Each structure stands twice: as structure tokens, then as C-alpha cells.
Amino acid sequence: MSSRTWGLCLSVVLLATFLTGCNNTLNPLCGSARPMPEIGSLSPSTVAFAQVQQGFALTINGSQFVSSSEAQVNGKTLAANVLSSTKLQVQLTTDVIAAPGTVSVAVMTPSGGSGDVGCSSGGTSTSLSLSVQ
């Protein structure tokens, strides 16, 4: 192997090592990775149980929501209507909330689109509490 070929191979190995050991913002191959969602507030933050019995649309405000993002209510994953990258809605019913109390709400984005190039993808946001009275 010539020194030029050897140098090229070494450069490729070093580049691959660098890209898999860095975060998504430095890795140009992570452009298709899904971001981890973040939530900031629930609207409303308190709801009457009677509203849940009738079916109630809860709005979750945050950032980095994508079309595949889903809501997690008390650990149960529910399909969500993603309105924008900062807002999604989920339908709450008695199938999900059986009685008044405090309910944990989070947003989860499944991983995908990053391949195996050292990119993180998707994840679950921190949770907020919804008060059901």
C-alpha cells in the first residue's frame, strides 16, 4: 500500500472515529436524526374529570416536535396530533385517566433516520403534571 493510500485510509478512520464520538450538531451525517422533544407547558394545566369523561383535547406546548412524536400519559403512549414543531394535542378519555388525580404527561419521539453513524435520535421529554379534579 502506498503512503498516499495509507494516509487516505487513516484519514477516513479518524474522521469516522471523530463523527461517532461527537454530538449531532458537529456530525454532518446526523442531519436526518430526529430531535429529542422538550415540553414547557400544558394547556390547560387543570381539567375537570367530567371533561375527561366526555373526551378532552389537551394541548402540549414545547419544542422539537415532529410528525412521529407521541404523547405519554401516565406512561401510556398515545397518538398525538402534531400541530407544529412547538404544539401538539392529545385526546384524553377515561381509557387513559380513570379517576381524578395527578397525571404525568410527556412527549416521546421514536428514534429513526440516523443510521449507525453515532447520532442520537428521538427520546422522551421530561414530564409535567396535569391536575384532574
For residue 11, pLDDT over 50 is answered with no
Fold topology of 3-132: Immunoglobulin-like (2.60.40)
Burial group, residue 124, by CB count within 10 angstroms (0-12, 13-18, 19+): middle
Q: Which of 9-23, 67-81, 85-99, 115-129 bottoms out in mean pLDDT, i.e. has the lowest? A: 9-23
Cβ neighbours for 121, distance < 8 A, ≥ 6 positions apart: 33, 34, 111, 112, 113, 114
Instruction: Note the pLDDT of residue 122.
Output: 75
Q: Which of 63, 35, 130 is nearest to 92 (CA)?
A: 130
The pLDDT tens digits for 29-73 are: 555 567 889 999 999 999 999 999 999 999 999 999 999 899 999
Residue with C-alpha cell 394545566? 45
Instruction: Note the pLDDT of residue 110.
Output: 86
Residue with C-alpha cell 392529545? 90
For residue 114, pLDDT over 90 is answered with no
Domain limits of the chain? 3-132
Question: Is the preceding omega at residue 110 within 30 degrees of 0, hence cis?
Answer: no
Q: Which residue has the higher pLDDT, 95 or 24?
A: 95
Q: Which residue has the higher pLDDT, 1 or 94?
A: 94
| Count of Cβ atoms closer than 10 Å to residue 7 Cβ | 11
- H or E element that contains 94: none
For residue 87, pLDDT over 50 is answered with yes
Instruction: Note the pLDDT of residue 112.
Output: 66
Grouping H, G, I as helix, E, B as strand and the rest as coil, residue 18 is: helix
Give the whole-angstrom CA distance, residue 79 versus residue 58: 12
